Amino acid sequence: MTEVEYLSATEVLHAFRRRELSPVEVFDAVAARADAVEPKVNALLERDHEDYRAAAIAAAARYAGTGGPPRALEGLPVVLKEEHAIEGRSLRLGSLLTGDEPAGETHPVVERTLAAGAIAHARGTTPEFSCAGFTHSRLWGITRNPWNPDYSPGGSSGGSAAALASGTAYLATGSDIGGSIRIPASFCGVVGFKAPYGRVPALPPFNLDVYCHDGVLGRTVADVALFHNIVQGQHPADHVSLPALPIPEDLGDVRGLRVALAVTLGDFPIEPEVEANTRAFADALKTAGAVVDEVTVPLGVSLEQLEETAFAHYGSIMAATMGDDPRLTGYSRQFLALSAAAFARTGIYGGLEGEATVQRALAQVFADHDALICPTLGCLGFEAGNEYPDGIDVAGRHLEMYMLATLTPVFNVASRHPVLNVPSGRAPNGVPTGVQIVARPYDDVTAFHLGAAAERELRWWADPAWRPQI
């Protein structure tokens, strides 16, 4: 039987409504689990901020018929990425440069999560200013991957993904400017959704950055669909936010869908184990009834040119505002230096030219395919605490910048594509691998149908063997 802390969010909520489980019982189980594993993982912040057990008692009363009807996430333990502001609470962003001044407003994703009755019993760790694909900082220390503590859970939503894999949350929030939802979801063997730009509302000014996406993570496709339906849609704080596109509960019918399988994009190097797991994922979709064609995707730019395009964009927004304070981590200084230099060389127009080339290459794939599947990362993990100042080796090739081991920034450039990361297997070091399911621009539902179909075939968290042995 599945342990309470590893039930899916939808299973827990159904059990609450049937009075088979109590929110108090579930909260106590998750709290005990966090007490046991947090010394080894270090994913959670502010567990002692308030009396969360009292909130669980109040949720139990709602299910018993007093205090108002239960809301969509009533009594469910959820982790909020620390980057998501909560009015009156600190917003440190993983940095020694910030103080304890409280945030002046609440992020729309947090607002909607709390309004749905979730118990936000902790906040998730991040790297400094969420500018890394791993999660450690001078402020909060090293967050480790529950599957193998020698490795990072990825970043920047690393605390969120690690909590899900650890059994210390049922759902979690994240954000993604270069893969910060999908990278940790992949390394932690969970599901994460980067919605198309504008679908999930954000706070100014970053709501106007087309690379920026706020979103959600969970252990199953259905859980992520449930949570995404709660946080998506127009919000008065975000004037460019899009109307909601509800994800149906009945997911997984992929018969006749035409899917392009790309074992890499452009010239990204891919480890053989990642390729094998991606092909196995494609076979699962074939079994489910999809038509899968293997394709090559020449992005029209080299890996280095793609890096220049992305970092020019980051530099146009961030580089001039940060400075070079000695309290910054090495990876933050590297990020700022690279982005400032790329913007100085390329400028806004040159960056747009690079983006247009990538968009054109993807348009050719989607001219006759409903979706594209490709690896989330080409490597088998990032070592915990390693900042990779000299780059990383992947599949026999040295990459000067470790983020070139990730295929995720392609879809921050092509930001109107919805992308669902789902597990594809595990590497020999125990770290999970993931696949990006990329649907046509704004076609969120197709990505979820394909994810649910693959999940049905491969089982993942439905299999008690798919658990980190912390």
- The per-residue pLDDT for range 183-229, each reduced to its tens digit, is 999 999 999 999 999 999 999 999 999 999 999 999 999 999 999 99
pLDDT of residue 322: 62
DSSP state at residue 318 = I
The confidence band for 114, taking pLDDT boundaries of 50, 70 and 90, is very high
Beta strands 77-81 and 171-176 are parallel
pLDDT of residue 399: 98
Amino acid at 214: D
Tokens representing 275? 């390729």
Give the model confidence (pLDDT) of 432-449 as tens digits.
999 999 999 999 999 999
Tell me the backbone φ, ψ of residue 109, rounded to 5 degrees.
-65, -40
Look at residue 360 and tell me whether its pLDDT is greater than 90.
yes
Instruction: Identify the helix (H) or strand (E) that includes residue 165.
Output: helix 158-166
DSSP conformational letter for 170: S
Q: Which of the four pLDDT bands, split at 50, 70 and 90, describes residue 49?
A: confident
Pick the range with the lowest mean pLDDT from 41-55, 156-170, 223-237. 41-55
Residue pair 76/4 in contact (Cβ under 8 Å)? The answer is: no
Average pLDDT (394-422) is 98
Of 39-53, 378-392, 438-452, the poorest mean pLDDT is in 39-53
Please check the confidence at residue 1 and state whether its pLDDT lies above 70: no
Structural fold of domain 4-462: Amidase signature (AS) enzymes (3.90.1300)
What is the share, in percent, of the chain residues with pLDDT greater than 90?
Answer: 96
Residue for token digits 């890096």? Answer: 307
C-alpha to C-alpha distance for 355 and 282, rounded to whole angstroms: 28
- Segment among 151-160, 288-297, 314-323 with least mean pLDDT: 314-323
Q: For residue 383, what pLDDT is reported?
A: 98
Q: Is the pTM of this model over 0.95?
A: yes
pLDDT greater than 80 at residue 321: no
Task: Provide Rg for the chain, Cα atoms.
Answer: 21
Q: Could you give the 3-state DSSP secondary structure of residue 247?
A: coil
CA 458 – CA 128 distance, rounded (Å): 35
Domain boundaries, the chain: 4-462
d(CA 123, CA 81): 5
Average pLDDT over residues 43-51: 91
Sign, CA dihedral 403-405-406-412, equals: positive
Whether the bond between 156 and the residue before it is cis, its omega within 30 degrees of 0, is yes
Task: Count CB neighbours of 22 within 10 A.
Answer: 18
Determine what percent of the chain falls in helix, strand and coil, rounding each to the nearest 5. Answer: 40, 15, 45
Q: What is the DSSP string of 63-108?
A: HTT-SS---TTTT-EEEEETTS--BTSB--TT-TT--SPBBSS--H
Q: State how beta strands 136-137 and 291-294 pair.
A: unpaired
Which pair of structure tokens corresponds to residue 308?
């220049």
Cα(5)–Cα(190) distance, integer angstroms: 15
Q: Evaluate if residue 319 carries a pLDDT over 80.
A: no
Return the bridge partners of 421, or none. Answer: 192, 436
Average pLDDT over all residues of the chain: 97
pLDDT in tens, 75-104: 999 999 999 999 999 999 999 999 989 999
Band of the pLDDT at 320, cuts 50, 70, 90?
Answer: low
In angstroms, rounded to a whole number, what is the distance separating the alpha carbons of residues 303 and 405? 10
Residue 188 DSSP one-character state: H
Longest dimension (CA), the chain: 63
Structural tokens at position 297:
């995707």
Contact call for residues 174 and 157 (beta carbons, < 8 A): yes
On the CB side of 334, CA atoms within 13 Å amount to 16
Residues forming the active site: 81, 156, 180
324 has pLDDT over 80: no
Taking 90 as the threshold, does the pLDDT of residue 401 lie above it? yes
Find, among 266, 233, 260, the residue nearest to 413 by Cα. Answer: 266
- What's phi and psi for 223, nearest 5 deg? -65, -45
| pLDDT reported for residue 318 | 81
Structure tokens at 373: 């599947």
- 325 pLDDT band (50/70/90 cuts)? confident
Count how many Cα atoms sit within 13 Å of the Cα of residue 259 in the half-sphere of its side chain.
33
Identify the pLDDT of residue 295. 98
Residue 219's Cβ-side half-sphere holds a number of Cα atoms within 13 Å equal to 28
The pLDDT value recorded for residue 341 is: 94
